[in-house]
Amino acid sequence: MTERFSFSLHATDGRARTGTISTPRGEIRTPAFMPVGTAATVKAMLPESVRATGADVLLGNTYHLMLRPTAERIARLGGLHAFMNWERPILTDSGGFQVMSLAELRKLTEEGVTFRSHIDGSRHMLTPERSMEIQQLLGSDIVMCFDECPALPAEHDRIAESMRLSMRWAQRSRDAFGDRPGHALFGIQQGGDKEDLRGESAEALRAIGFDGYAVGGLAVGEGQEVMFRVLDYAPDMLPEDKPRYLMGVGKPDDIVGAVKRGIDMMDCVLPSRSGRTGQAFTRRGVVNIKNARHQEDPRPLDEHCSCPACRSYSRAYLHHVFRSQEIISSMLLTWHNLHYFQELMQGMRDAIAAGRFADWETDFHAQRAEGDI
């Protein structure tokens, strides 16, 4: 068991990399997909079920937990790991992104953001210092800098102004985080889809020095083509010996394209959220289980899948429990989707280690039927 945080690369294939992040709470195999546990739970899943899908690390949301039940209460109860019964690594975001997308009556200043809770209208403030305090109260293993994430498309000057604020906040986050062996602080590169601004941001973060570096400000409406164009240069601007984390991504083909371009970690609500809306991801594409064509289909979602949904239930059954809004519908489809996402990551880790990522990617795209299946 290591007392420190470290990252070691095992193999590269083109720009794709595979490695291990070692933390005091366990190892993270990269490239890694992090299920999102917003309110101290991965919705519709027990923690042991999340582990059974192959997840090494979860994401927790600072914005939600600071509002309810509050970071102070979670700290009094022993921290987020004990509270939610997940003893492996947890990465928490800083709250910056969600305060801009969920909170009401937001006011942004150099100091930070004041806002009203979307739950009960109570007034709150997030600053780099407060965000570090909250993430420390939660007991997070990987802490994210407090930053601002502009929506795209946006003008160069607007993106520049936002990125430079985020870099000043990155320094304040670093100063407030202090020296915490075994805990990591990740900086977040901003700069939208502007290569010069992405470079300026990377240099600013490198000068401050972080344990890992996120590519932020993407998957905010720019579309896959623009996102991949940015990923054609942005990750390589970041230190190659540290983990690179692409925030908020994504669909399976987004994930494959990001790993191909040097990304080591990702998180997305897609597998869990879409599971609750009846969307099942398979190697051949998406199954919309609510579609009437599944109502008497005795086959599993995916005959090659070993998850509980595919081992023991038919599409007809999944169609029925979804239509009936039965709780087991969310349980089975979420489990299946998280299992599929982890299988995708394992497939890429193996392919990169064997130097056959290009063949694996060709096969990945070849298997995907057009449209619904």
Residue 147 vs 361, nearer CB to ligand 6H9: 147
33 binds ligand 6H9 (CB under 6 A): no
Q: Which is nearer to ligand 6H9, 130 or 349 (CB)?
A: 130
> CB count, 10 Å around CB of 123?
9
- Cβ distance to ligand 6H9 smaller for residue 93 or 302: 93
CB of 323 to ligand 6H9, least distance (A): 29
What value, to the nearest 5°, has the Cα angle with vertex 8 and ends 231 and 254? Answer: 25
Q: Which stretch binds ligand 6H9 (CB under 6 A): 32-40, 118-126, 216-224, 280-288?
A: 216-224
246 touches ligand 6H9 by CB under 6 A: no
Site for ligand 6H9 in 68-97 (CB under 6 A): 96-97
**Is 302 marked active-site?**
no
Q: Where are the alpha helices (DSSP H) in the chain?
A: 47-52, 62-67, 71-76, 80-84, 96-102, 128-138, 156-177, 195-208, 224-231, 252-260, 270-276, 308-312, 315-323, 327-353, 357-366
**Residue 344, C-beta contacts closer than 8 angstroms, at least 6 positions apart:** 33, 252, 255, 256, 364
What value does the CA radius of gyration of the chain take, rounded to a whole number of Å?
A: 20
**Residue 247 makes contact with ligand 6H9 by CB under 6 A:** yes
| 271: contact with ligand 6H9 by CB under 6 A | no
Q: Which is nearer to ligand 6H9, 201 or 330 (CB)?
A: 201
Q: For residues 37 and 273, what is the distance between their CA atoms, to the nearest angstrom?
A: 11
Residue nearest to ligand 6H9 (CB): 248
93, 147, 264, 302: the active-site residue: 93
Q: Quick count: other Cβ atoms within 10 Å of Cβ 288?
A: 16
Assess contact for 255 and 271: CB atoms under 8 A.
Answer: no
Q: Is 93 among the catalytic positions?
A: yes
Q: State the residues that interact with ligand 6H9 by CB under 6 A.
A: 96-97, 147, 149, 188, 216-220, 247-248
List residues with catalytic annotation.
93, 267
